[in-house]
């Protein structure tokens, strides 16, 4: 797993991690800045491809509240 995925999987001030069978989800913390989390989510989606697949979930208004990450070849 590349270092970017490892950093996502560790969680942080913007997101919690929920593990799943096929991968993991990064979930925006309730007290996290929405714009900052959206930046992380968009980066994960924009850079998915050979290493992982990123499936975002909209929060309704104009951003994301979680992204499910499926590592490829893990």
- The domain spans of the chain are 3-71
Among 1-5, 20-24, 48-52, 61-65, the range scoring the smallest mean pLDDT is 1-5
- Among 3, 5, 21, residue whose Cα is nearest residue 53: 5
pLDDT exceeds cutoff 90 at 59: no
Do 45 and 5 touch, CB atoms closer than 8 A? no
Through-space distance between the first and last CA atoms of the chain, rounded to whole angstroms: 7
pLDDT exceeds cutoff 80 at 66: yes
pLDDT exceeds cutoff 60 at 28: yes
Top CATH class of 3-71 equals: alpha beta
Residue 63 and residue 69: Cα distance in Å, rounded?
17
């Amino acid at each position: 797993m590349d270092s970017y995925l490892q950093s996502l999987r560790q969680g942080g001030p913007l997101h919690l991690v929920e593990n799943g069978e096929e991968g993991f989800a990064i979930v925006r913390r309730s007290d996290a800045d929405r714009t900052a989390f959206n930046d992380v989510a968009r980066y994960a989606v924009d850079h998915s491809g050979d290493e992982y697949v990123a499936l975002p979930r909209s929060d309704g208004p104009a951003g994301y509240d979680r992204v499910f990450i499926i590592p490829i070849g893990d």
